[in-house]
Structure 1
């Protein structure tokens, strides 16, 4: 026996489909809001007013920066033309790009050629958000991507 599709059947199908779509959107929106790490700056307009000047001063330093994790320590190399540079590190935060839950504030120790700090890092991509000050007072800010291999 063949059953006839009525208006209530069509309505039920549409209601079920749209309920699934709306439910998935709500779950994704909740996860997006709760995993957002926050703002980079409090007022982007104010930060933009000195961006070019700050960037040019930072580029003029000519520093090359790299970081790597081996075991439970992070090694930060800062050099200019192959010679080690020892700036004052004002702030160093090591964490994931998408969440602040695992952020670690680092206290570096200079070992003569590099800065070293203990970290707890699992495999994957990490960010080192570094703020340092050169001897001439120039602020150096950079986000360094650190890949930790298994």
Structure 2
């Protein structure tokens, strides 16, 4: 019987080089992957010119306070492949509208942005045949109600099985 003698392998500079290349290769690979994914998703773009938007902030805030003081409430419905909107006054009566425009977009991407011009369908409601896909949407509604500025209603909604949830 012979006893096998094994000597431990020596850790050389070549081993250290491969270890360092593997370590930094993983780090660089992850960084490149994350940069490509970040570049192909939401741009972060909110307004075209932030200075102009900041100058309009006080005006928009005053419009919002005046609109809130009216006590009006919007009714948004999504069902059966259609989207509809109606505006009710503080007493529950229907507000007469001259036109309604809806801008729908996903919170994170601009791939499915949709601009809809709704048509009157009677009883003060406006509607369009459009079945937005399931998921989360930001819905910006502008209703012409005879005010100095359009009545604005912005909502974040979730649509599941073609209806609001």
Compute the TM-score of the two structures, normalised by the length of structure 1: 0.79
In the other structure, the counterpart of 1:30 is 36
In the other structure, the counterpart of 2:130 is 119
**1:55 pairs with 2:61:** yes
Contact 2:99/2:118 (<8 A) preserved: no
Give me the CA root mean square deviation: 2.5
TM superposition shift of 1:106:
0.9
Larger relative contact order (CA 8 Å, sep ≥ 6): 1
Q: 1:39-83 deviations in whole A, cap 9, x for unaligned?
A: 332111111112122122123123433534213112224333133
Contact 1:104/1:119 (<8 A) preserved: no
**What secondary structure sits across from 2:136 in the alignment?**
strand
Separation in 1, partners of 2:132, 2:58: 34
Contact 2:99/2:119 (<8 A) preserved: no
In the other structure, the counterpart of 1:98 is 108
**2:118 aligned to 108, 111, 134, which one?**
108
Separation in 1, partners of 2:45, 2:60: 19
In the other structure, the counterpart of 1:88 is 99
5+ residue gaps, structure 2: 1-5
Q: 1:62-111 deviations in whole A, cap 9, x for unaligned?
A: 3433534213112224333133332533x422232222222222121233
Separation in 2, partners of 1:99, 1:26: 21
5+ residue gaps, structure 1: none
Distance change (3 Å), C-alpha of 1:50 and 1:104: closer
Distance change (3 Å), C-alpha of 1:38 and 1:116: farther
**What secondary structure sits across from 1:17 in the alignment?**
helix
Q: Which has the larger radius of gyration?
A: 2
**What secondary structure sits across from 2:40 in the alignment?**
helix
In the other structure, the counterpart of 2:3 is none
Separation in 2, partners of 1:79, 1:31: 44
